[in-house]
Protein backbone atom coordinates (compact mmCIF):
# COMPACT_ATOMS: atom_id res chain seq x y z
CA UNK A 1 0.00 0.00 0.00
CA UNK A 2 2.91 2.34 0.69
CA UNK A 3 6.53 2.20 -0.38
CA UNK A 4 8.85 0.41 2.01
CA UNK A 5 10.99 2.66 4.20
CA UNK A 6 14.66 1.75 3.84
CA UNK A 7 17.62 2.12 6.18
CA UNK A 8 19.13 4.75 3.88
CA UNK A 9 16.02 6.91 4.40
CA UNK A 10 16.53 7.18 8.17
CA UNK A 11 20.22 6.54 8.87
CA UNK A 12 22.58 9.24 10.08
CA UNK A 13 24.95 9.92 7.21
CA UNK A 14 27.58 11.93 9.07
CA UNK A 15 29.16 9.23 11.20
CA UNK A 16 31.72 9.96 13.91
CA UNK A 17 34.34 7.22 13.92
CA UNK A 18 37.40 6.42 15.99
CA UNK A 19 40.46 4.30 15.32
CA UNK A 20 41.99 1.38 17.24
CA UNK A 21 44.72 3.66 18.59
CA UNK A 22 42.35 6.41 19.76
CA UNK A 23 42.93 6.94 23.52
CA UNK A 24 40.04 5.65 25.62
CA UNK A 25 39.90 8.97 27.48
CA UNK A 26 39.22 10.79 24.20
CA UNK A 27 36.32 8.48 23.44
CA UNK A 28 34.77 9.22 26.84
CA UNK A 29 35.06 12.96 26.18
CA UNK A 30 33.58 12.43 22.71
CA UNK A 31 30.60 10.65 24.28
CA UNK A 32 30.08 13.58 26.65
CA UNK A 33 30.38 16.11 23.86
CA UNK A 34 28.12 14.42 21.30
CA UNK A 35 25.68 12.55 23.52
CA UNK A 36 26.38 9.37 21.53
CA UNK A 37 27.19 6.20 23.46
CA UNK A 38 29.02 4.31 20.73
CA UNK A 39 31.18 4.78 17.64
CA UNK A 40 32.32 2.58 14.74
CA UNK A 41 36.03 1.83 14.73
CA UNK A 42 37.79 2.29 11.39
CA UNK A 43 41.25 1.63 10.10
CA UNK A 44 42.45 2.12 6.53
CA UNK A 45 38.91 3.13 5.58
CA UNK A 46 37.43 -0.16 6.81
CA UNK A 47 35.03 -0.70 9.72
CA UNK A 48 36.65 -3.26 12.01
CA UNK A 49 34.61 -2.89 15.17
CA UNK A 50 32.46 -0.84 17.53
CA UNK A 51 33.22 0.75 20.88
CA UNK A 52 30.33 1.61 23.21
CA UNK A 53 29.70 2.79 26.75
CA UNK A 54 29.02 -0.84 27.68
CA UNK A 55 32.60 -1.72 26.73
CA UNK A 56 33.87 0.82 29.26
CA UNK A 57 31.54 -0.51 31.92
CA UNK A 58 31.93 -4.24 31.40
CA UNK A 59 35.51 -4.74 30.19
CA UNK A 60 38.87 -4.29 31.91
CA UNK A 61 40.29 -0.80 31.36
CA UNK A 62 42.47 -0.25 28.33
CA UNK A 63 44.22 2.98 27.37
CA UNK A 64 43.36 2.47 23.71
CA UNK A 65 40.17 1.63 21.81
CA UNK A 66 41.70 -1.57 20.42
CA UNK A 67 41.62 -3.08 23.90
CA UNK A 68 37.96 -2.25 24.45
CA UNK A 69 36.20 -2.51 21.09
CA UNK A 70 33.99 -5.35 19.92
CA UNK A 71 35.29 -6.75 16.65
CA UNK A 72 32.37 -8.95 15.62
CA UNK A 73 29.90 -6.22 14.66
CA UNK A 74 26.57 -6.54 12.89
CA UNK A 75 26.37 -4.22 9.88
CA UNK A 76 23.48 -3.45 7.55
CA UNK A 77 23.14 -2.71 3.85
CA UNK A 78 21.65 0.71 3.14
CA UNK A 79 18.95 -0.95 0.99
CA UNK A 80 17.65 -3.01 3.93
CA UNK A 81 14.10 -2.20 5.05
CA UNK A 82 13.58 -0.37 8.34
CA UNK A 83 11.34 -3.21 9.54
CA UNK A 84 14.05 -5.81 8.95
CA UNK A 85 16.68 -3.59 10.58
CA UNK A 86 14.45 -3.19 13.65
CA UNK A 87 13.87 -6.94 13.77
CA UNK A 88 17.60 -7.72 13.64
CA UNK A 89 18.52 -5.08 16.22
CA UNK A 90 15.83 -6.29 18.61
CA UNK A 91 16.81 -9.92 18.17
CA UNK A 92 20.53 -9.28 18.52
CA UNK A 93 20.09 -6.96 21.49
CA UNK A 94 21.98 -4.10 19.85
CA UNK A 95 21.14 -0.39 19.67
CA UNK A 96 22.99 0.59 16.49
CA UNK A 97 24.32 -0.83 13.24
CA UNK A 98 26.92 0.68 10.91
CA UNK A 99 25.48 0.94 7.40
CA UNK A 100 27.49 -0.12 4.37
CA UNK A 101 27.09 0.29 0.62
CA UNK A 102 27.62 -2.45 -1.94
CA UNK A 103 31.34 -1.66 -2.00
CA UNK A 104 31.59 -2.32 1.73
CA UNK A 105 32.18 1.34 2.59
CA UNK A 106 30.66 2.99 5.66
CA UNK A 107 27.86 5.32 4.54
CA UNK A 108 25.91 5.83 7.76
CA UNK A 109 24.70 4.43 11.06
CA UNK A 110 21.19 3.36 12.08
CA UNK A 111 20.15 3.50 15.74
CA UNK A 112 17.17 2.65 17.89
CA UNK A 113 16.24 6.33 17.83
CA UNK A 114 16.10 6.26 14.03
CA UNK A 115 13.89 3.16 14.17
CA UNK A 116 11.49 4.85 16.59
CA UNK A 117 11.43 7.97 14.40
CA UNK A 118 10.55 5.90 11.34
CA UNK A 119 7.63 4.30 13.17
CA UNK A 120 6.35 7.58 14.56
CA UNK A 121 6.32 9.00 11.05
CA UNK A 122 4.08 6.20 9.82
CA UNK A 123 0.56 7.50 9.47
CA UNK A 124 -1.79 4.60 10.10
CA UNK A 125 -4.90 6.66 9.23
CA UNK A 126 -3.29 7.54 5.89
CA UNK A 127 -2.58 3.87 5.23
CA UNK A 128 -6.13 2.93 6.17
CA UNK A 129 -7.68 5.62 3.96
CA UNK A 130 -5.48 4.56 1.06
CA UNK A 131 -6.65 0.97 1.40
CA UNK A 132 -10.27 2.13 1.82
CA UNK A 133 -10.12 4.10 -1.44
CA UNK A 134 -8.42 1.20 -3.20
CA UNK A 135 -11.26 -1.14 -2.21
CA UNK A 136 -13.88 1.34 -3.41
CA UNK A 137 -12.18 1.80 -6.77
CA UNK A 138 -11.44 -1.91 -7.23
CA UNK A 139 -14.94 -3.18 -6.47
CA UNK A 140 -16.99 -0.09 -7.37
CA UNK A 141 -18.50 0.17 -3.87
CA UNK A 142 -18.87 2.56 -0.96
CA UNK A 143 -17.33 1.76 2.40
CA UNK A 144 -17.48 3.11 5.95
CA UNK A 145 -14.55 3.40 8.34
CA UNK A 146 -14.96 2.86 12.08
CA UNK A 147 -12.54 2.23 14.92
CA UNK A 148 -13.61 -0.49 17.28
CA UNK A 149 -12.57 -3.49 19.33
CA UNK A 150 -12.89 -6.67 17.26
CA UNK A 151 -13.16 -10.14 18.83
CA UNK A 152 -9.96 -11.95 17.89
CA UNK A 153 -11.77 -15.26 17.39
CA UNK A 154 -13.83 -13.64 14.61
CA UNK A 155 -10.83 -12.40 12.64
CA UNK A 156 -9.87 -14.33 9.49
CA UNK A 157 -6.08 -14.25 9.00
CA UNK A 158 -4.72 -13.78 5.46
CA UNK A 159 -0.95 -14.04 6.05
CA UNK A 160 0.82 -17.40 6.07
CA UNK A 161 3.86 -16.51 8.16
CA UNK A 162 5.08 -14.19 10.90
CA UNK A 163 8.49 -13.73 12.53
CA UNK A 164 9.22 -14.81 16.11
CA UNK A 165 11.33 -11.75 16.90
CA UNK A 166 8.74 -9.30 15.57
CA UNK A 167 6.08 -11.23 17.48
CA UNK A 168 8.11 -10.60 20.61
CA UNK A 169 8.34 -6.92 19.74
CA UNK A 170 4.57 -6.61 19.23
CA UNK A 171 4.02 -8.41 22.54
CA UNK A 172 6.19 -5.78 24.25
CA UNK A 173 4.19 -2.98 22.60
CA UNK A 174 0.81 -4.43 23.55
CA UNK A 175 1.87 -4.89 27.17
CA UNK A 176 2.78 -1.20 27.31
CA UNK A 177 -0.17 0.10 25.29
CA UNK A 178 1.99 1.16 22.34
CA UNK A 179 0.60 -1.03 19.55
CA UNK A 180 -1.07 0.45 16.49
CA UNK A 181 -4.62 -0.69 15.63
CA UNK A 182 -4.92 -3.49 13.10
CA UNK A 183 -6.65 -2.97 9.76
CA UNK A 184 -9.73 -5.14 9.20
CA UNK A 185 -12.32 -5.37 6.43
CA UNK A 186 -15.83 -6.35 7.51
CA UNK A 187 -17.76 -7.98 4.65
CA UNK A 188 -21.26 -9.01 5.64
CA UNK A 189 -20.52 -10.81 8.95
CA UNK A 190 -16.92 -11.71 8.11
CA UNK A 191 -13.95 -9.87 9.67
CA UNK A 192 -10.92 -10.15 7.39
CA UNK A 193 -7.54 -9.24 8.90
CA UNK A 194 -5.57 -7.17 6.39
CA UNK A 195 -2.72 -5.67 8.42
CA UNK A 196 -1.50 -6.54 11.92
CA UNK A 197 -0.97 -10.30 12.05
CA UNK A 198 1.95 -10.03 14.48
CA UNK A 199 -0.10 -7.77 16.78
CA UNK A 200 -3.12 -10.06 16.64
CA UNK A 201 -1.19 -13.26 17.38
CA UNK A 202 0.67 -11.47 20.18
CA UNK A 203 -2.63 -10.30 21.69
CA UNK A 204 -4.03 -13.82 21.40
CA UNK A 205 -1.01 -15.29 23.19
CA UNK A 206 -1.39 -12.69 25.94
CA UNK A 207 -4.94 -13.88 26.50
CA UNK A 208 -6.72 -10.86 25.02
CA UNK A 209 -10.15 -11.51 23.55
CA UNK A 210 -10.38 -8.29 21.51
CA UNK A 211 -8.00 -6.09 19.55
CA UNK A 212 -8.19 -2.41 18.67
CA UNK A 213 -8.82 -2.08 14.92
CA UNK A 214 -9.64 0.23 12.07
CA UNK A 215 -12.57 -1.55 10.44
CA UNK A 216 -13.54 -0.84 6.84
CA UNK A 217 -17.17 -1.90 6.52
CA UNK A 218 -18.63 -3.15 3.22
CA UNK A 219 -22.39 -3.64 3.04
CA UNK A 220 -22.30 -5.86 -0.04
CA UNK A 221 -21.55 -9.57 0.33
CA UNK A 222 -18.56 -10.03 -1.94
CA UNK A 223 -15.42 -12.17 -1.81
CA UNK A 224 -12.22 -10.17 -1.43
CA UNK A 225 -9.14 -11.10 -3.42
CA UNK A 226 -7.10 -11.54 -0.25
CA UNK A 227 -9.72 -14.01 0.99
CA UNK A 228 -9.44 -16.03 -2.22
CA UNK A 229 -5.66 -16.09 -1.90
CA UNK A 230 -5.92 -17.18 1.73
CA UNK A 231 -8.31 -19.95 0.69
CA UNK A 232 -5.81 -21.25 -1.87
CA UNK A 233 -2.96 -21.15 0.68
CA UNK A 234 -5.06 -22.91 3.33
CA UNK A 235 -5.05 -20.01 5.79
CA UNK A 236 -8.21 -20.19 7.88
CA UNK A 237 -7.11 -20.00 11.53
CA UNK A 238 -4.10 -18.77 13.47
CA UNK A 239 -2.83 -22.35 13.59
CA UNK A 240 -2.27 -22.08 9.84
CA UNK A 241 0.31 -19.29 10.31
CA UNK A 242 3.95 -20.38 10.43
CA UNK A 243 6.13 -18.64 13.02
CA UNK A 244 9.60 -18.16 11.52
CA UNK A 245 12.34 -18.22 14.14
CA UNK A 246 15.26 -16.83 12.13
CA UNK A 247 17.23 -13.67 12.86
CA UNK A 248 19.34 -13.85 9.74
CA UNK A 249 18.69 -11.51 6.84
CA UNK A 250 20.48 -11.47 3.48
CA UNK A 251 21.50 -7.83 3.95
CA UNK A 252 23.26 -8.16 7.30
CA UNK A 253 26.64 -9.64 8.03
CA UNK A 254 29.32 -9.72 10.69
CA UNK A 255 32.34 -7.53 10.06
CA UNK A 256 34.70 -10.30 11.10
CA UNK A 257 33.05 -12.71 8.65
CA UNK A 258 33.29 -10.13 5.87
CA UNK A 259 37.00 -9.68 6.52
CA UNK A 260 37.59 -13.43 6.43
CA UNK A 261 35.78 -13.71 3.11
CA UNK A 262 37.75 -10.77 1.72
CA UNK A 263 41.05 -12.38 2.77
CA UNK A 264 40.19 -15.51 0.77
CA UNK A 265 39.89 -13.53 -2.50
Together in a domain, 42 and 146 = no
Range in 4-8, 218-222, 229-233, 237-241 the model is least confident about: 4-8
Q: Confidence band (pLDDT; 50, 70, 90) for 114?
A: confident
Q: Let me know whether 153 and 60 are in one domain.
A: no
The answer to whether 26 and 97 have CB atoms below 8 angstroms apart is no
d(CA 155, CA 198): 13
What residues contact 30, with CB distance under 8 A and at least 6 apart?
A: 16, 18, 36, 39
pLDDT at 251 exceeding the cut of 70: no
Query: Is residue 242 one of the residues assigned to a domain?
Result: no
pLDDT-wise least confident of 1-15, 34-48, 103-117, 240-254: 240-254
Residue 2 within any structural domain of the chain: no
| Residue 21 to residue 13: CA distance in whole angstroms | 24
Same domain? For 44 and 146 the reply is no
Q: How many CA atoms lie within 13 A of 226 on its CB side?
A: 18
Indicate if the pLDDT at residue 125 is higher than 80: no
Within a domain: 178 = yes
Q: Within 10 A of 135 (CB to CB), how many other CB atoms are there?
A: 21
25 belongs to a structural domain = yes
108 located within any domain: yes
Domain that holds residue 132: 123-234
Whether residue 227 sits in one domain with residue 149: yes
Query: Any idea what the CATH number is for the domain that residue 134 is in?
Result: 3.90.1530.10
* Residues 171 and 221 placed together within one structural domain of the fold: yes
pLDDT band at 50 (very low <50, low <70, confident <90, very high): very high
By three-state DSSP, how is residue 93 classified? coil
Q: Looking at the structure, tell me whether residues 164 and 190 fall in a common domain.
A: yes
Rounded average pLDDT over 62-76: 93
DSSP assignment of 223-251: --HHHHHHHHHT--SGGGSEEE-----TT
Q: Based on the fold, state whether residues 16 and 36 are members of the same structural domain.
A: yes
In a domain, 241, yes or no: no
Looking at the structure, tell me whether residues 76 and 112 fall in a common domain: yes
In a domain, 1, yes or no: no
pTM beyond 0.75: the answer is no
Q: Are 140 and 107 contained in the same domain?
A: no
**Where does 101-166 show beta strands of DSSP type E?**
106-111, 143-151, 155-156, 161-163
How many independent structural domains does the chain possess?
Answer: 2
Query: Is residue 222 situated within a structural domain?
Result: yes
Amino acid sequence: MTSTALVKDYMTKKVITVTPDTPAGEVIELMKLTGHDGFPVKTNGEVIGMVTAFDFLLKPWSDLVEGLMTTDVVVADKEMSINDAARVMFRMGISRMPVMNKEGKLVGIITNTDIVRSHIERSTPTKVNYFKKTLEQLYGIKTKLVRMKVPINKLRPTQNKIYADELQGRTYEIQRGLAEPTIVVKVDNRYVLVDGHHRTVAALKLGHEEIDSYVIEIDEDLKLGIEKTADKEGIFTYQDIDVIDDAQHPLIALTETLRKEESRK
